[in-house]
Amino acid sequence: MHGKIEYLLFFIPDRIVDNFEIWRVFTPAFLHFGLFHILFNILIFSFFGRLIENSFSWVKLLLMFFIFSGTSNLFQYLISQSYTFGGLSGVVSGVVGYCVIIALSPCADSRYKMAVGLCLINIVFNIVEYFSDSHVAFGAHAAGLAAGLVWGIIDYRKIVAGMGRKETLGDIFGRLVDILKNR
C-alpha cells in the first residue's frame, strides 16, 4: 500500500473541487516524513494543545486544528504548486502563535510564556527557510503562525474587554516587546 494512503490524504485541488473530497484540505496534517518530524510535532502540539484545552475547551482546540490545518495547507499549496507536502507543523505554528498572544493576558497560565521563545524560533526558522532551498513547508509554517497570532489577538481583546479594559494592537505588541526585553 506504499503511496496509496498518502495519495488519499494529499491536498489535491482537482480532487477537492471535482469529487468534493473535502477531507484533503485537512489531512496533510496527518502525513509525516520521518520519525523526528512526527515526534517533534506531537510533542509541541500536545504541550500547547493541552494548555488551550484546559484554559478554554477541547472544542476550541479541535476548531483550531481544522482552521490552522486548512489555512496552512491551502497556503502551502498556493506557494509551492505541489501537493506532496505534509505535517502538523502549520497547526503547531498556529497554536504556538495563539499561545504567544494569550501569554500577554494578565490571567494567563505562566506556561503560556514558553510559547514566546518557540514563536521566535519559528519566525527565525521561517526566514531561513524562505531563503533556503530545502523541502520544509515554509508556506504552511508561516500561514499557521499568522492564523494563530490573529486568533490570539481576537481572543486576547475579548479577555481584556471582559476585565473592563480596551487595548489596541500597539498595546498588545508593546506588551510582547516588554516580555522579550525581560528574557
d(CA 168, CA 183): 24
Residue in 55, 89, 93, 105 annotated catalytic: 89
Is 37 catalytic? The answer is no
Please state, as a whole number, how many other Cβ atoms lie within 10 Å of the Cβ of residue 70: 20
Is 55 catalytic? The answer is no
What's the per-residue H, E or C state across 40-93? HHHHHHHHHHHHHHHHCCHHHHHHHHHHHHHHHHHHHHHHHCCCCCCCCHHHHH
User: Exposure pattern of 12-27 as b/e (b: 16+ CB <10 Å)?
Assistant: beebbeeeeeeebbbb
Which residues participate in catalysis according to the annotation? 89, 141
